[in-house]
Amino acid sequence: MFRLALRMLYGDRSKYLMLMSGIVFATILMAQGGSLFCGIMSWMASTLHNVRAPIWVSDPMVQQVGDNRPMRDTDVSRVRSVEGVSWAVPLYQSVIQVKLGNGKAQAVTLMGIDNTSLIGAPQTMLEGDIEDLRKPNSVIIDIYGVQLLGRELGRPIRVGDRFEMNDREAVVVGICKVQRGFMGGPYMYTSYDRAVLYAPSQRKMLSFVLAGVQEGADAATVSARISAESGLRAYTEDEFFWSTIAWYMRNTPIPINIGLIVLIGFIVGTAVSGQAFYAFVLENTRNLGALKAMGLGTWRLAAMLVIQSLTVGMTGYGIGMGVVSLMGRALIRSGRVPFLLLWQVGAIVGCAVLIICTISALLGISRIARLEPAIVFRS
């Protein structure tokens, strides 16, 4: 009978396409919204992804990686002295203005990494070498910065180009590839000592202390010990990531806005598919009544509707996710829109589609459960 159910479904092509379009549309809205949300959250925490350190130490009031509450330079040594810490280096982070040769300015996220170890340097260099940061006035810019500053300059940025930051010269010695940030424009790397010169002067300049753990030591334990002994706030990389995400969830309208998109997708999907499926059952009332009269039980009829509904749901889900993947690919390639399609997003959207299918099937089942087979004897 399941084959018959599918033949009945596929036979009415216009209805089938309408049913499926509701699911496809809902899947696209929900998966797109979910992926945008994950993309935004990922961009919010991109500094963590780009710098990579087992432990991040900050001012006790800092809750997310974009927050900048400067500490004293001596805090590096305080962290270094804690048992279980193998190394500790300073990190500077700030959004500052870069003045181009033609007088135009552009905001960048300036990262000042440890002069000696270069811990926190970008992982992928497209041009130049990270060791070139030891040269005078040297900076490394990310590929997004090459495009963005290039637009302002009227030509792509090249190694050897010179900028002005805080009345000081900066020379591009390399181009790197890092994950884009959500707020601060492109990333620009230099040494810590030079970064504090490029940035507007403050009494305290240290943004974070990055720390490593000794072999065999547990990062969470060492992190807790740093917090207890230094009075600073130490996070493991994972803790800091989730603390950052939680901060944005609590303090920005992003979750509500994107949640609304996902909710609208769910409601539209349920309304369109539920209504179309109910109409499909209504149109087939006499045929379903005939099947009932011929000896097909209500449960088997219900199973047929469930099969039809699930088939529509899974096909629509597959097409919808395919479309979202292609759109995501294009968005990622453009580099302008945060987009991250995680398997968890796919799973959650799949569950939502399953709920839509269940609601649609239940609407149909409620109809056939009340259906008297005697209807077929009425003209």
CB nearer to other proteins: give 15 or 99. Answer: 15
CB nearer to other proteins: give 18 or 121. Answer: 18
By CB under 8 A, how many residues form the interface with other proteins? 28
Options 26, 291, 306, 365; binder of other proteins; rule CB under 8 A: 291
CB nearer to other proteins: give 130 or 375. Answer: 375
Options 102, 167, 295, 334; binder of other proteins; rule CB under 8 A: 295
CB nearer to other proteins: give 231 or 297. Answer: 297
Q: Is residue 95 within the footprint of other proteins (CB under 8 A)? A: no
Report the half-sphere exposure of 144 (CA within 13 A, side-chain side). Answer: 21
Cβ neighbours of residue 42 under 8 Å, at least 6 residues apart? Answer: 49, 179, 338, 340
CB of 262 to other proteins, least distance (A): 35
CB nearer to other proteins: give 8 or 217. Answer: 8
Distance CA 200, CA 311 (A): 62
Which range, of 43-51, 63-71, 221-229, 366-374, touches other proteins by CB under 8 A?
366-374
CB of 291 to other proteins, least distance (A): 7
CB of 147 to other proteins, least distance (A): 54
Options 268, 290, 323, 348; binder of other proteins; rule CB under 8 A: 290
Q: Is residue 20 within the footprint of other proteins (CB under 8 A)? A: no
CB of 272 to other proteins, least distance (A): 21
Q: Is residue 296 within the footprint of other proteins (CB under 8 A)? A: yes
Which range, of 4-12, 95-103, 129-137, 255-263, touches other proteins by CB under 8 A?
4-12
Q: Is residue 282 within the footprint of other proteins (CB under 8 A)? A: no
Distance CA 78, CA 139 (A): 29
Give the 3-state DSSP-derived string for the chain, with helices as H, strands as E and coil as C. Answer: CHHHHHHHHHHCHHHHHHHHHHHHHHHHHHHHHHHHHHHHHHHHCHHHHHHCCCEEEECCCCCCCCCCCCECCCHHHHHHCCCCEEEEEEEEEEEEEEECCCCCEEEEEEEEECCCCCCCCCCEEEECCHHHHHCCCEEEEEHHHHHHHHHHHCCCCCCCCEEEECCEEEEEEEEEECCCCCCCCCEEEEEHHHHHHHCCCCCCCECEEEEEECCCCCHHHHHHHHHHHHCCEEEEHHHHHHHHHHHHHHHCCHHHHHHHHHHHHHHHHHHHHHHHHHHHHHHCHHHHHHHHHCCCCHHHHHHHHHHHHHHHHHHHHHHHHHHHHHHHHHHHHHCCCCCCCCHHHHHHHHHHHHHHHHHHHHHHHHHHHHCCHHHHHCC
CB of 296 to other proteins, least distance (A): 5
CB nearer to other proteins: give 251 or 287. Answer: 287
Q: Is residue 370 within the footprint of other proteins (CB under 8 A)? A: no
Options 4, 228, 282, 342; binder of other proteins; rule CB under 8 A: 4
Options 123, 124, 287, 366; binder of other proteins; rule CB under 8 A: 287
Options 155, 203, 333, 378; binder of other proteins; rule CB under 8 A: 378
CA dihedral sign, ordered 7, 12, 13, 17? negative
CB of 363 to other proteins, least distance (A): 20
Distance CA 23, CA 274 (A): 10
CB of 2 to other proteins, least distance (A): 10
Q: Is residue 3 within the footprint of other proteins (CB under 8 A)? A: yes
CB of 301 to other proteins, least distance (A): 10
Contact residues: other proteins, CB under 8 A: 1, 3-4, 7-8, 10-12, 284, 286-287, 289-297, 300, 372-374, 376-379
